[in-house]
Amino acid sequence: MAEPFLNVQHSVTGRTWVDRLDDAGTRTAQAIAQRSGMSEILARILAGRGVTIEGAEEYLTPSIRGMMPDPSTLADMDKLAARLVRAITDNEHVALFGDYDVDGASACALMARYLMHFGLAPEVYIPDRIFEGYGPNIAAIDKLIDGGASLLVTLDCGTTSDAPIAHARGRGVDVLVIDHHLSDHDLPAANALVNPNRPDDISGLGYLCAAGVTFMVLVAVNRLLRARGDGGQPDLMQLLDIVALATVCDVVPLVGLNRAFVVRGLEVARRQTNRGIGALALAARVTGPLNPYHLGFLIGPRINAGGRIGDAALGTRLLTLDDEHEALVIAAKLNELNAERQRIELEMVEEATRVAEAEIGNGEGPPVLVLASANWHAGIVGLIAARLRERFERPAFAIALQPDGTGTGSGRSMPGVDLGHAVIAAVDAGIIAKGGGHAMAAGVTVRPGQMGPFRAHMSEALSRQVGVARALTALEIDAAITARGANVAFVEDVERAGPFGSGNPQPVFAFPAHKAKFAEIVGAGGHVRFTLTSDDGARIKAIAFRAGTTALGETLLRAGNDQRLHIAGTLNLDHYQGRAEVQLRVTDVAEIPG
């Protein structure tokens, strides 16, 4: 086994630090740097993400055209595209039924904008998270059909909606499904179902979010219209800002086509041609060019706030608007809802953390946390599960209990642990009433008496996967640098390997023997802010998010202004009043012996 990086065998968070590159990876990095002339550290970052010597230049400039496969490789694509062409030609009344998260809102907005370009007036229906739950329901379908809809398109849902789709077909309405969620069941009787994760699909595009799949559908429809001799198709490249938003917020892997979507989509987003995205950026006080962090942590949560504690249709409505004033009004409302969501979340996280600590005690605890409370808001449980997974380094479910004992909840996983398949298996076995999802996230409905069996099932089904995943929690370091070297030009060079996120991890840099000066706790979340300082006097602003009551935060606060520490984290640029400044987001700290 290779020597630990900086000889850190046990950091304050209990991790070993290792070099992301083995000997072969180091040789690849050297060859990339020599052949391309790029910096050695940028070459190390690329090699650490599996980029080859021959593919390095292309990786830095991903092309949608170069990476876009033939849409017809997706099962049912040709049938689905042909039916949409018919709807456009006949000016049909089309109803769009979406999910209440960012991906669902974005997929609906993409389809709505596309149909509106041809003069159609699609009706968009987003179900209420609390009262209707996920996916199509018969009452909503009847309402849409009674209103005159002749074609129903489900987006980011529908793959497991057998009964509602059969009901719609029975009433003489065609149904098209555009989705990406897993299913081990027979497919519903839709006229066409495009989902790269359906069992018989061989496209290899299962990593796309629903908005990404929707974009592929629109490419196929454009192609079919051109083949018929019809002109005036919309420029799909101008819709990539919406695709990028969904791709980042749904935490799908930023590899291949997804990475190209985000790179090119950010270019469109920075022009703020979409009034809704621009209004949300203004409400969130975004400074500097839009980047994945802004999409995932500032804009996305505001869209989600509508679905969590307000009007679930606000997000889609905002993304389809061209009226600037109305966009600003809706963005302001979503901003208010997000502030209320943050307040509720903070209270729920405190309760959930106490319960989890009691359940784990001084031992290892269960491999999967399954917590429930009658005090929790059903629209916030996904966020609580994410906090629990982050804090206790294991998959977690947070379930909101209703007065009748029924629970609705969400789960969040960790790399290498397939939550979706375990939940689907629980449904198949009759352990829970309803559930589904994908590897990293899942939703469940639990009836009275099912909580105990569900806990036991998840622990038994995922114990081995969790054990392996937790054994691989060593912190991978891309390079060691100093505060002096971590300047704006350095960060801009590193960002050429982005966008970073799931599947393309943000580079982690180690700062050997630096000081954490002026450390203090700030914000309601208990963040630890300090100034990273090197012996030559160079300084960087630094922050450890939600670390105030953790070993990481306590070490930073205790170190004072003189103790040297090995500090690891990620770098970003903070833009203020037109000026860029480097900021370090701390991942881990190791005390130096002696």
Residue 343: the pLDDT is: 92
Tell me what the mean pLDDT of segment 571-593 comes to. 92
Interval 176-213: pLDDT, tens: 999 999 876 789 999 999 999 999 999 999 999 999 99
Do residues 437 and 421 make contact, with C-beta atoms less than 8 angstroms apart? Answer: no
In this predicted model, which residue has the larger pLDDT, 212 or 501?
212
Rounded to an integer, what distance in angstroms lies between the CA atom of residue 89 and that of residue 199?
32
Matching residue, tokens 């500090």? 567
Q: Which residues of 446-482 are buried (b: 16+ CB within 10 A; e: fewer)?
A: beeebbeebbebbeebbeebbeebeeeebbbbbbbbb
CATH code of the region 5-20+478-591: 2.40.50.140
As a whole number, the mean pLDDT across the chain is: 94
Residue 319: the pLDDT is: 98
Tell me what the mean pLDDT of segment 221-239 comes to. 93
Given a cut of 80, is residue 472 above it in pLDDT?
no
Helix/strand/coil for 226: helix
In the Cβ-directed half-sphere of 102, how many Cα atoms lie within 13 Å?
27
Interval 351-383: pLDDT, tens: 999 999 999 987 789 999 999 999 999 999 999
Rounded to an integer, what distance in angstroms lies between the CA atom of residue 534 and that of residue 178?
53
Tell me what the mean pLDDT of segment 461-468 comes to. 94
Given a cut of 70, is residue 567 above it in pLDDT?
yes
Residue 304: the pLDDT is: 93
Residue 527: the pLDDT is: 94
Given a cut of 60, is residue 1 above it in pLDDT?
no
Q: Which residues of 91-117 are buried (b: 16+ CB within 10 A; e: fewer)?
A: ebbbbbbbbbbbbbbbbbbbbbbbbee
Tell me what the mean pLDDT of segment 64-78 comes to. 95
Given a cut of 60, is residue 349 above it in pLDDT?
yes
Interval 278-303: pLDDT, tens: 999 999 999 889 999 999 999 999 99
Interval 21-65: pLDDT, tens: 999 999 999 999 999 999 999 999 999 999 999 999 999 999 998
Q: What is the amino acid identity at position 420?
A: G
**Domain 66-336 falls under CATH 3.40.47.10:** no
Residue 560: the pLDDT is: 82
Which residue ranges make up each domain of the chain? 5-20+478-591, 66-336, 364-471
Token couple for 68: 């876009």
Decide whether 66-336 matches 364-471 in CATH topology.
Answer: no
Matching residue, tokens 């198949």? 428
Bridge partners of residue 192, in order along the sequence: 176
Q: What percent of the chain has pLDDT over 70?
A: 99
Given a cut of 80, is residue 10 above it in pLDDT?
yes
Residue 229: the pLDDT is: 87
Residue 133: the pLDDT is: 82
DSSP letter, residue 267: H
Rounded to an integer, what distance in angstroms lies between the CA atom of residue 564 and that of residue 515?
5
Residue 80: the pLDDT is: 98
Residue 193: the pLDDT is: 98
3-state helix/strand/coil string of 17-66: EEECCCHHHHHHHHHHHHHHCCCHHHHHHHHCCCCCCCCHHHHHCCCHHH
Matching residue, tokens 């509720």? 344
Given a cut of 90, is residue 503 above it in pLDDT?
no
Bridge partners of residue 259, in order along the sequence: none
CATH of 364-471, one of 3.30.70.270, 3.10.310.30, 2.170.120.12, 3.40.30.10: 3.10.310.30
Given a cut of 70, is residue 329 above it in pLDDT?
yes
Residue 286: the pLDDT is: 93
Given a cut of 70, is residue 571 above it in pLDDT?
yes
> Any idea of the CA torsion for 450, 363, 438, 474, to the nearest 10 degrees?
180
Do residues 481 and 45 make contact, with C-beta atoms less than 8 angstroms apart? Answer: no
Q: How confident is the model at residue 576 (pLDDT cuts 50, 70, 90)?
A: confident
Do residues 184 and 424 make contact, with C-beta atoms less than 8 angstroms apart? Answer: yes
